[in-house]
Amino acid sequence: MGFLKKWKRLSDRENVQLIPYLEKWIEENPIHKIYIGCDSHNGPQKTTFATVIVLHYNGGGGHVLYSRETFPLIKDRHERLWKEVEFSVSTAMFLMENGLEKPDYIDVDLNPDPRYQSNSVLRAALGLIESIGIAPRYKTKSPWSISIADKACR
């Protein structure tokens, strides 16, 4: 899967060079948490994905970097949800491969309740995320980045 290349600050929509930006932010904020998540939205003819990196300051607050990608409409829910997981994992791996620390969490927009369709992807997603040494969070575990990604993809 290709990596998202165009990153912006959510606060002002300014483009950022992801790795140098994060290196500087981490240096300036040595006590912090980093969360990654992705959400998607289907329009009439396209599917938009927003992947976010939440930079959480020690003591509260923070800010968000995001990247949006648009694809031809993905009608299959399973395929779309799995692509969300892939974007999040690819982002985390990209950070680690470029010498940054691993994120504290990858948040996924999946439900542990088998009554919901997103549950069909949950076990595989958790396994993939844990296999790269990152803690996953899902709907009942307060996944902050998913709420932000939902807003960023609309």
The 10s digit of each residue's pLDDT in 48-105 is 999 999 999 888 888 999 999 999 999 999 999 999 999 999 999 999 999 999 999 9
- For the beta sheet containing 62-72, the strands, ordered from the edge strand earlier in sequence to the opposite edge, are 15-16, 7-9, 62-72, 46-57, 32-42, 105-107, 135-137
Q: How confident is the model at residue 1 (pLDDT cuts 50, 70, 90)?
A: very low
Instruction: Please check whether residue 138 lies inside any domain of the structure.
Output: yes
Residue 143 CA to residue 2 CA, distance in Å, equals 24
Residue 129 CA to residue 4 CA, distance in Å, equals 18
Say whether pLDDT at 135 is over 70.
Answer: yes
Q: What is the mean pLDDT of residues 24-37?
A: 94
Return the CATH number at 36. 3.30.420
Question: In the chain, where do the E strands start and end?
Answer: 7-9, 15-16, 32-42, 46-57, 62-72, 105-107, 135-137
**Tokens describing residue 14:** 């300014």
Instruction: Please check whether residue 144 lies inside any domain of the structure.
Output: yes
Instruction: Please check whether residue 14 lies inside any domain of the structure.
Output: yes
Q: What is the mean pLDDT of residues 32-42?
A: 94
Say whether pLDDT at 143 is over 80.
Answer: no
Q: Which of 4, 29, 27, 28 is nearest to 16 (CA)?
A: 4
Instruction: Please check whether residue 2 lies inside any domain of the structure.
Output: no
Domain that holds residue 80: 7-152
Q: How many structural domains are present in the chain?
A: 1
Residue 119 CA to residue 109 CA, distance in Å, equals 10
Instruction: Please check whether residue 1 lies inside any domain of the structure.
Output: no
Q: Which of 85, 98, 101, 86 is nearest to 143 (CA)?
A: 85
Residue 128's CB is within 10 A of a number of other CB atoms, namely: 18
Instruction: Please check whether residue 140 lies inside any domain of the structure.
Output: yes
